[in-house]
Amino acid sequence: MRNTVVIIIGVVILCFWAVSTRNKAVEYKQQVEVLTQTKDSLAAENFVLKTQLGRYELTLDYLNEVNPKAASQANNYLNHETE
């Protein structure tokens, strides 16, 4: 009789542990999904900003070829007037 009670208590404890572990696993999975979405969003935004920055650099290079004085003024403004 005593062995049966010990086994029942052990099974109950094991069930609580299994449910707790499963709940934590589900919570961790949800956190990973949120972090993955955030990472993907930031990567997409970073791509857009890098593309825009590249366009500005190409524009300044072109301006330097066709109008060096204007390019120099633009670089001076960019480096000293925009903080």
Q: What are the extents of the domains in the chain?
A: 2-80
The pLDDT of residue 81 is 81
CA–CA dist 19, 27 (Å, integer): 12
- Residue whose pair of structure tokens reads 């857009």 in the numeric block: 48
Kindly report, residue by residue over 17-70, the tens digit of the pLDDT: 888 889 899 999 999 999 999 999 999 999 999 999 999 999 999 999 999 999
**Is 53 within 8 Å of 60 (Cβ atoms)?**
no
Band of residue 5 on the pLDDT scale cut at 50, 70, 90? confident
> What pTM does this model have?
0.62
Using the predicted structure, report yes or no on whether residue 83 has a pLDDT greater than 80.
no
The pLDDT of residue 79 is 87
CA–CA dist 40, 18 (Å, integer): 33
